[in-house]
Chains A and B, each alone.
Chain A
Amino acid sequence: MRSFLLVPEALVAGTALLLLVAGPLGGVPRSWRSRLPAIVAVVVVAAFVVELWAGGTLATLFGGGFIQDRFALFAKAAVLLAVAAAIAVADWSAEDSLSTGLAMTLLAAFGVMVVASAGNFVPLWAGLELAAASGVALVGLRRPDIGLRLLIVGGVATALFVMGFAFVYATTGTADLLAARTIIANAAPTLPLAIPVLLLFGGLAVRAGIAPFHLASVPSSLGASPMGAGILLGLVAAAALIAAIKVAALLSPVPETLSLYLEVIAAVAMVGGGAAALGVRAPRARLAYLAVGQVGWVAAGLATHYRSGLGGALFLAGAFTLAATCGPAVLGGAEGGEASLAGMGALRPARALGIAMVFLSLAGAPPLAGFFGEFTVAAALAQSGHFGLLALGLLGSVLSLVAALGTLRVLYLQSPPEEGRRAVGFALPAWTSVSSAGAVAFCVVIAAYGAFANPILGLAYQGAEALGLR
C-alpha cells in the first residue's frame, strides 16, 4: 500500500506536465480536444479513488518532508474532488487555452496536495507558491496587467510568510513542524514568538484573500478566466487555509500568540465578506466576497485552538474548496452584471442549479455543505466560549444569505434577455453533455457532503488529531 501513496500526486503532476508539453507542441489531436476535459477529469477522479484507497496508510517519506496521515488524506481528497468537479463543469470555450488551463489547474491542485502532506516548512512554502504561481500564470494569460499585480501581492505574501518562518526557525532551531511544536509547547507566549506568528498569518491571510487582504485577490479574480478565478478563489485559498491549519496546530500549545490575530481576521472577514457580497451585483464579485466570508469562518474555527475547532475548520475548508473552486467554473463566462444570469434556470437548468448550490453553500444556507461546516465551527466556538465571534459570524452569514438569495432571484425568477441582445460578458455558457453531467455531479457532491457528514467530519477530526490536537 505504501508504494501507492504518491500515485495521486504522480497522476496529477504527470498529467499537468504532459499537457504543458503537448499543448504548445500540438500534441493534443484536434479530435481529442473536446474530450480532453472529460479525460483529465477521469484522471483526477482516479487519483481521488487511489487517495481514498491508499491514503489511509500512515507514512513519512523524504526525510520527514512528506507526511501521509488522516489530515493529508482529508485535504487531498477534498481538493481532488473539487478539481475533478471544476474541470468537468467548466465552460472550456471561455478559457484562453485548453491545455494550459487544464495544466495550471492540475499544478495548483498538486501544490495544495504538497501543502497537505508537508512535514516541514519547506514543502509548506513550496506548495503554497506552486498553487499561487499556477493561478498567476493562468490569470496572466488573459490579463497580463492583473497577473503582474497578483505577482506583486503574492511577493508580499511570500515575504511575510518566509520572514515568519525564519523567525520560528530561529526560535525553535528546527523547520520540522512536529519538532517545532514540541519545542514551542515548552515555550512561554513571548513577544518574540508573537511577531513571527503575526507575519506568518499575515502572509497566509493575503494568500487566502481574507478581508481586508482580499483587495488584491478579489479584483484579480474578476478579470481572470473562469478557471483562473477558480484557482485564485478556491485552490490558492485552500492551500493557504491548509497551511494555516498546520501552523495553528503548531502553535496551539501557546494559543495567546495567535488567537487575537485570528479572531480579528475572522470577524472582519465574516462580516465584511457578507456585507460586501450584499453590496455588489456582479455574480463573480458576489461569489468572491461570499468566499471571503466563508474563509473567515475557517479562521474562526482556528481561533478556538482546540481539536473540535480545527476539525470543524478542516471540514468547512473541504466544503469551501469544493464550492469556491467550482463556483467560477460553473458560472462560466458570465462576467458581466447579474443580468448575465437572468433566466438561466430555464435555459441551462443543470448549470443554474450548480450556481445556486455554490452561492447557497458559500453563504452557509441549510442543508448544503457550507451550512454543515459553519455549524460545526459554530459549535466549536460555543464550546470554547467565543460568543462574540459567533454572533459576528452569524451576522455575516445572514448578510451572505440575503446576497445569495438575490442571485437565485436572477437565476430563476427573471426572464432571459433576447439572445440577440446579449452583450460581451453576458453570454450564456456553452452547453456540452460533459459540463451538464459535471454540474449534476457537482450538485450531488455538495448536497451529499452534508447528508453524509458523519464519515466526512469523522475523518476531519481524525485529521485534526493527526496534527497532535486532542
Chain B
Amino acid sequence: MIVMNAVVAAVNAASPTPLPVTVPGSGIFQSSLLLSLMVWAPVLVAVVIAVLPNPRGRFDALMKQIAFFTNIGLLFILWVAYNQFQILGTVQFEENVPWLPAIGAAYHLGIDGPGLVMLILSGLVGLASVLASWGVRERVRSYFCLLLISEACINGAVVAHDMFVLVLFWGAATIPLVLLVLGWGGPRREPAAWRLAAYWGLGTIALLVATLVLYSAAGGKSFDMDVLFRIPVSPRVQLVAGLALIVAAATFLPLFPFHGWVRDVYSQAPVGVCVVVAGGATRLGGYVLLRVLIGAEPIGAQLLSPLLGLMAAATVVYAGLVVLRMTDLRRGAAYLAMVPGGVTVLGLAALSPLAIGGSVLSLFSGGLAAALIVGVCATLTERAQTGNLHVLKGLAPRMPSLTWITVFAVLGLLGLPLMASFPAEAMTFFGSVKNQPLAAFAVAGGLAITAASLAVIMHRMLFGTPNPDAPGVSDASSGEKWFLGVLAGALLWVGMFPGGPKLPGTDTPIFDPGLVNAMAAGITEMASPYAAK
C-alpha cells in the first residue's frame, strides 16, 4: 500500500494548469507527464508487442487488440488533457529536462491551442489507422510495432517545444512509415517507399538547416523555442530559414512542386498507412510552417508570403487539373489529398489573424478529410477489385455504405456546410482575400475545378449505369465502416459543434472548451505581428 501510495503520489504531481472542475474527466487524474505519456506509451507498447511470444502467428489478433486499446488509452489521456486545457496564450503541460546542455538542447515538451488540435487529430487518425489495418495478415507483429512507433513520432513532433526534439521526431517519423510501405505495400511498393524516403529526407534536411541557421544566428546557445524564437534575427536570416522551412513543409504536406511521392505512396501503401500519412504525418508540414515561420519569423513570413500563396494556388489548381483527367481511383485520391494542404498554406500566406485561425482549423479538418478520401478510395478499390474509373460504374446499389461515405468524404474535402472543413475554408478565404487576392481566387478556382471533376466522376462511378463486365464488388466490412466512420464522424462533429457540445439539459460542456475555442488559445499571440492586416 505504501509503495502504491508513493507511485500514485509520484504520478499525480501537480499539473501546471488549475482545473475547471465542472468539466467531466478533468479531475480523473493529473500528471505532469501527460505529453510524455502521449509520446512514449505507444513506443513502450510497441516494444512489448515486439517481444511477445507469437508462435506461428497464434497471437496476431491479440496484437491488433493491444494496438487498438493503446489508441483508445491515448484518446482517453487526450480527453483528460483536453478538459484540463485552459484558454490561455501560454504553452501548457510543459516538461523541460536538459538533454544536451552543452549545445543547448533540452527535452522540452508543451502544447498551446494549435498543438492540442494537432494532438487530437493525431489521436483520431491513430485509432482510424489501427481499425483500417485490421485486415493485415502478414507479419502482424512488425506491422503494428511500426504503426505505433510512427504514431509516437508524430505525437512527439507535435508536442516538441525544442527544435532539437522537433527534428528528432520529425526525422524519426520517416523510418517506420517507409518500412511500412516497403513491407506491406502493393506491387510497386519499392519505388513508392524510396520516393517517400527521398522527399521526406530532403524535408528533414531542410528543417535541420532552418533550425541550425536560426540557432547560429541566435548565438548558438539554445534550441529551445522559447529562446530561439524570441531573439531577433536579421531579415536575411529569416529569409534563408523561411525558405528552408517552406521546402520542409512542402515535402511533407505536400505542395507543388514537391509532391512527387504522393501518387506512388497513396496508391501503393496499405490503407492504414495511407490514413496515418494523409491524416497525421503530412499535417506536420503545415504545423511547422505555422509554429516556426509564421509564429516566430514575422519578417521572413512577410517576405515569403507571395511564394507561399503561389505554392498554395499551384497545389490546388494542379490537383484539380489532375483529378479532371484521372483514370485510377487511388491515384486520383492521392492528388485530392493535396487539396487541404493548399488551403492551409493559403491561410498562412495571408498573414491575417482570421486566415491563420482558418489554417489551424484546416490542419485538423484537412487531415481528417485527406485521410478519409484516401482511405475510402483505397477501400473502394479493394472492394471493387479495380481502381479503373472506366470500369467502375453504378456502384451505389451494390455498395451502399461505401457510396455514402465516399460522397461524405468528397463533401468534407470540398468544405461544404456542416463539415469541419467548412468553417476552416470560410475563415481562410475571408481572411486571405484581402492580402492574397490572386492566390485566394486561384485556390477557389482550383476547388471549383476539383468539385466539377468530382461531381462528374461520382455521378458516373456511383450512380451511373452499372458495368456488367466489371469484377464482382462487395460493400465495406464492419471494420472498414468503423475506421471510415471515426474520420467522418469527427469531421461532422466539429462541423456541427465547433464550440463544443453540452451535456443534455445542463451547461456542462462535454468537451471543454470546444475545439475552436481551444484552438484560438495561442493563435492570438502568434498572429499579433500581423494584426494590422
Q: Give A residues with C-beta under 8 Å from B.
A: 308, 311-312, 345, 349, 360, 365-367, 371-372, 375-376, 378-383, 385, 387, 390-391, 394-395, 397-398, 401-402, 405, 408-409, 412-413, 453-454, 457-458, 460-461
A contact residues around B307 at 8 Å (CB):
none
Q: Give B residues with C-beta under 8 Å from A.
A: 50, 98-103, 105, 139, 142, 164, 167-169, 171-172, 175, 178-179, 182-183, 193-194, 197-198, 201-202, 204-205, 208-209, 212-213, 215-216, 220
From the candidates A383, A391, A405, A461, name the one contacting B220 in the complex (CB within 8 A). A383
CA distance A408 to B193 in the complex (A): 13
From the candidates B50, B179, B201, B212, name the one contacting A402 in the complex (CB within 8 A). B201
Q: Please determine whether B98 and A454 come into contact, CB atoms closer than 8 angstroms.
A: yes
Q: Please determine whether B142 and A345 come into contact, CB atoms closer than 8 angstroms.
A: yes
* CB of B56 to closest CB in A, whole Å: 11
A contact residues around B172 at 8 Å (CB):
365-367
A contact residues around B171 at 8 Å (CB):
365-366, 371
Q: Could you show 13 A-B contacts with beta carbons less than 8 Å apart?
A: A375-B168, A376-B100, A376-B103, A379-B105, A391-B209, A398-B205, A405-B179, A405-B182, A412-B142, A412-B183, A413-B182, A453-B100, A454-B99
A contact residues around B100 at 8 Å (CB):
372, 375-376, 453-454, 457
Q: Please determine whether B212 and A401 come into contact, CB atoms closer than 8 angstroms.
A: no
Chain B interface mostly = helix
Minimal Cβ-Cβ distance residue in A for B145: A412
Q: Please determine whether A375 and B164 come into contact, CB atoms closer than 8 angstroms.
A: yes
Q: Please determine whether A409 and B102 come into contact, CB atoms closer than 8 angstroms.
A: no
* CB of A159 to closest CB in B, whole Å: 38
From the candidates A376, A378, A397, A413, name the one contacting B179 in the complex (CB within 8 A). A413
Q: Please determine whether A412 and B179 come into contact, CB atoms closer than 8 angstroms.
A: yes
CA distance A413 to B175 in the complex (A): 14
Q: Please determine whether A382 and B179 come into contact, CB atoms closer than 8 angstroms.
A: no
B contact residues around A394 at 8 Å (CB):
205, 208-209
CA distance A383 to B212 in the complex (A): 8
Chain A interface mostly = helix
Q: Please determine whether B183 and A413 come into contact, CB atoms closer than 8 angstroms.
A: yes
* CB of A32 to closest CB in B, whole Å: 32
Query: Top 7 closest A-B pairs, CB basis?
Result: A382-B212, A413-B183, A398-B201, A383-B220, A382-B216, A366-B172, A394-B205
Q: Please determine whether A383 and B216 come into contact, CB atoms closer than 8 angstroms.
A: yes
Q: Please determine whether B220 and A367 come into contact, CB atoms closer than 8 angstroms.
A: no
Which of A365, A372, A383, A413 lies at the interface centre, i.e. has the most chain B CB atoms within 10 A of its CB?
A413
Other A-B pairs, 13, CB within 8 Å; known A308-B220, A371-B168, A398-B198: A375-B168, A376-B100, A376-B102, A379-B215, A385-B216, A391-B209, A394-B205, A395-B205, A412-B183, A413-B179, A454-B101, A457-B102, A458-B101
* CB of B171 to closest CB in A, whole Å: 5
CA distance A402 to B167 in the complex (A): 18
Q: Please determine whether B212 and A367 come into contact, CB atoms closer than 8 angstroms.
A: no
CA distance A365 to B212 in the complex (A): 17
Q: Please determine whether A378 and B212 come into contact, CB atoms closer than 8 angstroms.
A: yes
CA distance A365 to B174 in the complex (A): 10
B contact residues around A395 at 8 Å (CB):
205
Which of A365, A398, A458, A460 lies at the interface centre, i.e. has the most chain B CB atoms within 10 A of its CB?
A398
* CB of B127 to closest CB in A, whole Å: 25
Q: Please determine whether B209 and A390 come into contact, CB atoms closer than 8 angstroms.
A: yes
CA distance A375 to B179 in the complex (A): 23
CA distance A412 to B175 in the complex (A): 13
Minimal Cβ-Cβ distance residue in B for A458: B102
CA distance A368 to B201 in the complex (A): 17
Which of B164, B169, B201 lies at the interface centre, i.e. has the most chain A CB atoms within 10 A of its CB?
B201
CA distance A322 to B369 in the complex (A): 46
CA distance A460 to B216 in the complex (A): 21
Q: Please determine whether B202 and A398 come into contact, CB atoms closer than 8 angstroms.
A: yes
Task: Known contacts A378-B212, A454-B101, A458-B102; decide if A405 and B202 are in contact (CB<8 Å).
Answer: no
Which of B98, B178, B194, B208 lies at the interface centre, i.e. has the most chain A CB atoms within 10 A of its CB?
B208
Minimal Cβ-Cβ distance residue in B for A394: B205
B contact residues around A408 at 8 Å (CB):
179
Q: Please determine whether A402 and B198 come into contact, CB atoms closer than 8 angstroms.
A: yes
Q: Please determine whether B167 and A375 come into contact, CB atoms closer than 8 angstroms.
A: yes
CA distance A31 to B142 in the complex (A): 39
